[in-house]
């Protein structure tokens, strides 16, 4: 458990469901993540993990249930309204702005919650404090010498790092990481792990990940989803030895 | 030689300022050539250049290509014509015209920015046709098919703008001011936002942006500058009729912007220069100038999908690379991959 964890809840889902026509992608999910926690969400493909993230971020509306962010109900909030309350997220399929440079990407993020995003006549390059912030972030994420490269020139690993950096430009209090390790080479995986470890301890993390090494390394509590339902939840070690989880991943004995 | 090339490659601020000054000087010399034809050519270029640049703000930067941009030019021109007909002063008529443009954009924008892609194109086409239909059918206000005369150009203090050279300089000044404002807008955080929306709208939402509001503002700002072009257009021709804002003219504005290169501001300006030249100059000598225009457009779309401006900048980069590379050093390591493929084509 993280030292900063203070018992108040960062994210609370009560009976959240999301249906697509007749298919229930997320079924009656209850979830509580405390402030400062590092929470993992695992489950086989199609378990509804990313749909759950989309419902939390507001890109999909919940069909049923209630979502609270730092004690405030956000079930009907738009995505930008949730961002304003401290929610950040990254995507499994990376989605930075591919036609813009790394600097432009991070600058867009850094203005996202400020009134300066409506500034019409001042060059975005003239915001000194934001420029420093962007450069510092790029430096931390090993992108310092790529600042003026278009994203289309970056390697996959660099794009993954940019994806996380982009989410951090908004200084979120809760960060949803959707498979930050997907498609990374072993070397890139190590730097991603270092990077996730370097995140401020007061930042609450919820991470979807298939790479169990990365999960074990970063999170201390795991929720297991299967067919949209929560089948197990608990400390990492407990979940790893849970027979139901083994059954889901390896198939039943029968 | 290579030092010169390297300076060209970096395109420092003083160099860009120098190029701008030279172009301005060329523009300023036109009325001195003594031909009213060139003045008229220049006026057409400045007015349609401004219109094409305003389209670029919504089309090129935000990714919402409007097929109804000439309609806002129409509202601007009809606005002054109607105001003057009611006996308002020239200043009041201009104010009224620009207000009408903004109000129209505020209303149309509510519908337009809800959709994207091809739906936006069709919706703006329809909205443009509404304005055209009103101009054509609402005879008591618009004069219908006959259009409305615009009695006279106002004076500007002691300067008499009825002289076409004087009016040209007036338009040039307004044009430069508008270009400076548009340039500031595309370089602002707001302009960066528009490029982000074009690139990846859903991502903008999860970065805290109320995307619709930004698109709405961009739509209204673009319409405002089209309206300014309309006021200049009205006082230039001293007449406005539905023909000026029909489907063909709405299409021509898009043609200018696409031909020059969307999303660069200078591209649409170049595009309008080419189209105005073809329409006003080549048409005198070549009966089938429309065919020429069509062939040029097809060639540009096929071989320079990012427009004439894109072609120019790529050629410039290729040349500087050829001429300016110090021996043994690979220049421009961080160039875009498109440049690579283009060079492969040339090789």
Q: In this prediction, what percent of chain A has a pLDDT beyond 90?
A: 41
DSSP state of B159: B
Residue A204 DSSP SS3? strand
Q: Look at residue A205 in the predicted model and tell me its pLDDT.
A: 92
Strand order in the sheet with A221-226: A87-89, A174-178, A204-208, A38-42, A221-226, A229-235
Tell me which chain B residue has its CA closest to the CA of residue A113: B208
Query: Which residue is listed with tokens 């999860």?
Result: B206
Q: Look at residue B338 in the predicted model and tell me its pLDDT.
A: 36
pLDDT at B328 over 60: no
Asked if B259 contacts B274 with a C-beta cutoff of 8 angstroms, the reply is yes
Q: Look at residue B103 in the predicted model and tell me its pLDDT.
A: 97
pLDDT at B81 over 90: yes
In the predicted model, what is the mean pLDDT of chain A?
87
- A147 touching B, CB under 8 A? no
Distance between CA A6 and CA B58 in Å, rounded?
A: 48
CA distances from B162 to B30, B76, B155, B165, B170 (A): 17, 19, 8, 9, 11
pLDDT digits (tens, 9 = 90+) for A121-162: 898 888 988 999 999 999 988 898 999 999 999 988 889 889
Q: Look at residue A77 in the predicted model and tell me its pLDDT.
A: 92
Query: Cβ contact (<8 Å) for B205 and A79?
Result: yes
Q: Is B6 exposed, middle or buried (0-12, 13-18, 19+ CB in 10 A)?
A: middle
- pLDDT band of B236, cuts 50, 70, 90: very high
In the predicted model, what is the mean pLDDT of chain B?
86
- pLDDT band of A103, cuts 50, 70, 90: very high
pLDDT digits (tens, 9 = 90+) for B97-146: 999 999 999 999 999 988 888 899 999 999 999 999 998 889 888 888 88
* Cβ neighbour number for residue A93 with a 10 Å cutoff: 10
* Cβ neighbour number for residue A214 with a 10 Å cutoff: 21
* Alpha-helix runs per DSSP H in A58-127: 79-84, 102-111
Tell me which chain B residue has its CA closest to the CA of residue A88: B206
pLDDT digits (tens, 9 = 90+) for B24-77: 999 999 888 888 899 999 999 999 999 999 999 999 999 999 999 999 999 999
Distance between CA B37 and CA B281 in Å, rounded?
A: 9
Residues in chain A: 254
- A141 touching B, CB under 8 A? no
Among the ranges given (A50-54, A205-209, A227-231), the one the predictor scored with the smallest mean pLDDT = A227-231
A39-61 average pLDDT score = 90
**A207: β partners:** A40, A177
Query: What's the ipTM?
Result: 0.84
pLDDT at A38 over 70: yes
Q: Look at residue A23 in the predicted model and tell me its pLDDT.
A: 87
Tell me which chain A residue has its CA closest to the CA of residue B212: A80
- A119 touching B, CB under 8 A? yes
Query: Cβ contact (<8 Å) for B192 and A111?
Result: yes
- The shortest C-alpha distance from A231 to chain B (Å) reads 29
A35-59 average pLDDT score = 90
């Amino acid at each position: 458990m993280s030292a900063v964890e203070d018992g108040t809840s960062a994210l609370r889902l009560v009976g959240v469901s999301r249906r697509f026509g007749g298919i229930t992608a997320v079924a009656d999910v209850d979830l509580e993540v405390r402030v400062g926690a590092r929470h993992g969400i695992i489950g086989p493909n199609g378990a509804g993990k990313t749909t759950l993230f989309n419902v939390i971020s507001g890109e999909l509306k919940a069909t049923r249930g209630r979502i609270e962010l730092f004690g405030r109900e956000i079930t009907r909030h738009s995505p930008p309204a949730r961002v304003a309350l401290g929610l950040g997220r990254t995507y499994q399929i990376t989605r930075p702005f591919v036609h813009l440079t790394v600097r432009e990407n991070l600058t867009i993020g850094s203005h996202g919650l400020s009134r300066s995003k409506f500034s019409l006549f001042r060059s975005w390059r003239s915001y000194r404090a934001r420029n420093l912030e962007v450069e510092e972030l790029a430096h931390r994420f090993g992108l310092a010498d790529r600042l003026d490269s278009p994203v289309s020139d970056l390697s996959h690993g660099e794009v993954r790092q940019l994806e996380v950096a982009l989410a951090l430009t908004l200084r979120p209090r809760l960060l949803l990481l959707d498979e930050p390790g997907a498609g990374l080479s072993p070397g890139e995986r190590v730097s991603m792990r270092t990077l996730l470890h370097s995140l401020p301890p007061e930042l609450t993390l919820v991470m979807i990940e298939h790479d169990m090494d990365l999960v074990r390394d970063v999170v201390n509590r795991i929720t297991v989803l299967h067919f949209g339902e929560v089948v197990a939840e608990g400390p990492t070690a407990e979940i790893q030895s849970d027979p139901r989880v083994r059954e889901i991943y390896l198939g039943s004995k029968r | 030689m290579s030092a010169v090339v390297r300076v060209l490659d970096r395109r420092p601020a003083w160099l860009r300022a120098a190029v701008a000054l030279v172009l301005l000087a060329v523009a300023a010399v036109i009325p001195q050539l003594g031909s009213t034809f060139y003045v008229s050519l220049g006026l057409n270029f400045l007015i349609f250049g401004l219109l094409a640049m305003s389209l670029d703000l919504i089309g090129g930067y935000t990714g919402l290509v409007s097929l109804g941009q000439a309609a806002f030019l129409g509202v601007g021109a009809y606005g002054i014509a109607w105001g003057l007909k009611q006996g308002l002063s020239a200043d009041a008529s201009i104010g009224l015209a620009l207000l009408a443009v903004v109000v129209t954009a505020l209303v149309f924008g509510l519908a337009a920015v809800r959709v994207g892609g091809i739906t936006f194109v069709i919706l703006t086409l329809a909205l443009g046709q509404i304005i055209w239909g009103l101009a054509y059918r609402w005879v008591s206000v618009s004069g219908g098919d006959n259009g409305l005369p615009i009695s006279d150009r106002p004076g500007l203090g002691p300067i008499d703008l009825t002289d076409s050279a004087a009016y040209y300089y007036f338009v040039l000044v307004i044009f430069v001011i508008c270009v400076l404002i548009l340039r500031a807008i595309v370089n602002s955080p707001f302009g960066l936002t528009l490029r982000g929306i074009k690139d990846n709208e859903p991502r903008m939402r999860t970065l805290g942006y109320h995307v619709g509001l930004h698109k709405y503002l961009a739509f209204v700002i673009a319409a405002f500058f089209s309206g300014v072009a309309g006021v200049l257009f009205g006082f230039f021709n001293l007449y406005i009729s539905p023909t000026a804002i029909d489907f063909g003219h709405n299409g021509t504005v898009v043609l200018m912007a696409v031909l020059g290169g969307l999303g660069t501001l200078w591209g649409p300006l170049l595009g309008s220069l080419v189209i105005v030249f073809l329409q006003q100059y080549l048409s005198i000598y070549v009966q089938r100038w429309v065919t020429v225009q069509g062939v040029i457009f097809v060639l540009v779309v096929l071989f320079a999908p990012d427009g004439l401006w894109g072609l120019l900048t790529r050629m410039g980069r290729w040349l500087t690379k050829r001429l300016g590379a110090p021996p043994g050093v690979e220049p421009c390591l961080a160039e875009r991959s498109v440049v690579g493929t283009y060079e492969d084509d040339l090789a």
